[in-house]
Each structure stands twice: as C-alpha cells, then as structure tokens.
Amino acid sequence: MTEMDAPLATPCNIQICEVTCDSFRIMWDMSPEDSARATHFFIDLSRKESRDPNRFKHRDVPTKLVAKAVPLPMAVRGHWFLSPRTEYCVAVQTAVRQPDGDYLVSEWSQVVEFCTGDYAMEHLQQLLDKATGSAVRLLKFSVFYRNQHPDYFDYVRRECGGLMRPALKDISGSHGSPINGKLQGVFFSCNTEFDTGLPPQDSPYGPLRFQIPAGHLLNPNISLYFADFYCMYTAYHYVVLVLAPVGSEGDNFCRTRLPMLDLASNPFLTYTAPQTPGEEPRYCHASDVILEVLFTEPVPLDQGLVEPIRGHHQLMSLTTANAKKDPSCKVCNISVGR
C-alpha cells in the first residue's frame, strides 16, 4: 500500500466556534500526516429537527459542501442560508482527491450540534434601513393604548396591585431579533386613524382599552430602540420599538444589542420638546407602518383610563402573537436569514 492509498483517520474532537446568526467556524484534530495529504473537506450540515439519519456516502459528490482543504478553523457561511436561533447538526470527512478524480475519504466524524445566534447590530441596521424606506409620513398622537380582555384587567387589579407587569416578548416577527424570548415588557400601540387622529375603534386583542398620556412613556428620560421589521403575508408591515427608562435593566439590555434612535429625529416615533413657555410637547408616529411599542417597566393602571371600545373586537387570528414572518417578502427580509 502506497502513502497515497493509506487510510485517513476519522476526524475527532470536533469544535464549533465564533457562531453568529449566519456563520460559524469549525475545527477538528488531524494528524500531521493527514493534514499534509488532505485536499478537501466534506461538510454535512442539516437542521436538527429534519436531519436525515441515512447519511450520504462519499461517492455522492457533490455533497452539501465540498471545500478545498484550508487551515483550521474553517469558516462556513451562507452555503445553506443559515437561519438565526436554529439548531444544526454537523459532521465532517477529510478527503484526498486522486488522479482519476475519485476521492479517498475518512469515515464520518461524530455528529456535533450547535445553535446559531441572534441578529448582530449590523443585521439590525440592515432591517432598520429597510424599515426607514417604508415609513414616510408622521402623524401627531397623544396617547399610547393597550387592548385586552376584562379578565386581564381584573387580574392586574386583584393580583398585581394595579400594575401591568412586563411579560417576556414572544417569538413573533423576525426569528433573529435579540428581544424575542429574552426581553420583558408591556406592549402598547400608538397608531391613529388618518381621518380622525384618534386610535382605531377595532382591535383583535380585546374589547377593553387602557389609554395613557403619551408623555408617561415617551419623554427625555426614555431611551428609544429599533427591534424589528416584519410582515405576516400582508401588504402592511410592523415595526417593533422598545422604550426603556434611561439606566434601567431594559435600557442596559438593549444598549449593546439594538440600534438606538434619536427621540427627536427618527422615522417612527418622535418626541419634540416644547419650544416656548406653556407649549405642550409634540408626539408623532409613523403612519405607513404599524408600530408595536414595548415598554420595559411596569405601568400603573391609575396613570390612565380603561374604557370599552366602540367598534368590533376582531378575531384573535388577526393578532401578531407568535406570528411568523413572511420569508418571501422582499420589503422586510435581509440576506442573513429570517
């Protein structure tokens, strides 16, 4: 048996590092002899929940990824349009391409599992740029509001001392948004009807509405962050914003993960300080997108008013709770996954 025909050792001690939402680096132990001989690496990558137990054979070339041998760790990105926050399984083979074009290959390594990360700041900036293109006009508003069922408000009064307490953000919207399942808050709306300047009288969330003066949640002591831009197979789009009191736990969480917006100058939600004595602050919201505003601290019911809406309480199927983002929309998707 010649050196060229000597078997390759099975890759071992597989390690995954530098994982992002759409890339990772992989390395493993190889003998100096195999490192010198190897011409290619075969990488088998699949989502954990859909991994095929019948692994392909080395003669099934091209494989999911056939890469020329490079110094380890090897970067893997984009080949499968890796999705954020997704569990994957990966295994490797080393190979030597022979003069006849066939490959001498090692056995498959053990399977290693890992999970991709959240959107990084650069990805959120891409989303923000896309969202900015959809937010053209600003309209004045005066209240934030939150619709719920009577049982919710009864519970707040009875069990929470009249405080609407923050709850963990669900997984609706972009899968890679850093706040999904990690940041707590109380959701509010502020969109108004174009013809009346008032909140709409319909809601899919419940027949009772809590309204609070805008200044309680939006003022110079509040930090404003952009968190997401998405749609649900519809023509209209949602923008998720976070309001966090300066220096609060929510503010500290968002500061390193989300793009901060200027309160006085941004396309979604603005606060303009009074310019003359006796003048009221001016509050404006984007009218071309639907804003979902997450306030990160408890909100007392006695700061506002709970009243029934006059319009219809629509079907709960129209809510955005745990809603999946349309992966085919060219307006609100970026190239690093959904």
DSSP one-letter string for 241-284: EEEEETTSHHHHHHHTTS-EEBTTB-SSEEEE--SSTTPPPEEE
Kindly report which listed range (51-55, 251-255, 323-327, 331-335) carries the lowest average pLDDT score. 51-55
Q: What is the pLDDT of residue 277?
A: 87
Residues 77 and 189 placed together within one structural domain of the fold: no
Residues 150 and 61 placed together within one structural domain of the fold: no
Residue 89 placed within a domain: yes
Which of 116, 142, 176 is the last residue before a domain boundary? 116
- Looking at the chain, the whole-number percentage of residues with pLDDT higher than 70 is 88
pTM reported for the whole predicted model: 0.86
Kindly report which listed range (58-67, 121-130, 302-311) carries the lowest average pLDDT score. 58-67
Neighbours of 81 (CB within 10 A): 11
Element (H, E) at 153: helix 150-159
What is the span of the domain harbouring residue 244? Answer: 121-308
Average pLDDT in the chain: 88
Q: Is there a contact between 214 and 224 (Cβ–Cβ < 8 Å)?
A: no
CA atoms of 123 and 134, how far apart (whole Å): 17
Neighbours of 225 (CB within 10 A): 24
pLDDT tier, 79 (very low <50, low <70, confident <90, very high otherwise): very low
Closest CA to 14 of 93, 85, 125: 93
Q: What is the pLDDT of residue 136?
A: 87
Residues 18 and 92 placed together within one structural domain of the fold: yes
Q: Which two tokens stand for residue 19?
A: 């994982």
Q: Is there a contact between 110 and 91 (Cβ–Cβ < 8 Å)?
A: yes
Residue 209 placed within a domain: yes
pLDDT tier, 57 (very low <50, low <70, confident <90, very high otherwise): very low
Helix (H, G, I), strand (E, B), or coil: what is residue 77? Answer: strand
Helix (H, G, I), strand (E, B), or coil: what is residue 61? Answer: coil
Q: Which two tokens stand for residue 235?
A: 């023509």
290-295 and 238-245 beta bridge pairing: parallel
Residues 6 or more apart in contact with residue 27 via CB below 8 angstroms: 14, 15, 17, 72, 73, 74
Residue 262 placed within a domain: yes
Query: What is the CATH classification number for the domain harbouring 35?
Result: 2.60.40.10
73 pLDDT above the threshold of 90 = yes
Residue 205 placed within a domain: yes
Residue 277 placed within a domain: yes
Kindly report which listed range (16-30, 68-82, 148-162) carries the lowest average pLDDT score. 68-82
Residues 146 and 281 placed together within one structural domain of the fold: yes
Residue 325 placed within a domain: no
Residues 133 and 151 placed together within one structural domain of the fold: yes
- State the Cα torsion 85-238-272-265 to the nearest 10°: 60
DSSP character at residue 313: B
Kindly report which listed range (207-216, 285-294, 304-313, 317-326) carries the lowest average pLDDT score. 317-326
Which of 90, 116, 142 is the last residue before a domain boundary? 116
Element (H, E) at 130: helix 121-134
The structural domain count of the chain equals 2
> φ and ψ at 248, to 5 degrees?
-75, 170
End-to-end CA gap in the chain? 51
Q: What is the pLDDT of residue 201?
A: 84
Closest CA to 35 of 3, 8, 62: 8
Residues 134 and 262 placed together within one structural domain of the fold: yes
CA atoms of 326 and 314, how far apart (whole Å): 22
- State the Cα torsion 174-188-331-250 to the nearest 10°: -50
Residues 224 and 275 placed together within one structural domain of the fold: yes
Residues 149 and 280 placed together within one structural domain of the fold: yes
Instruction: Tell me what percent of the chain is helix, strand and coil, each rounded to the nearest 5.
Output: 15, 35, 50
Q: Which two tokens stand for residue 213?
A: 């003066």
Residue 287 placed within a domain: yes
How many residues are recorded in the chain? 338
Closest CA to 244 of 227, 232, 230: 227
- State the Cα torsion 151-157-163-165 to the nearest 10°: -30
Residues 157 and 202 placed together within one structural domain of the fold: yes
Residue 338 placed within a domain: no
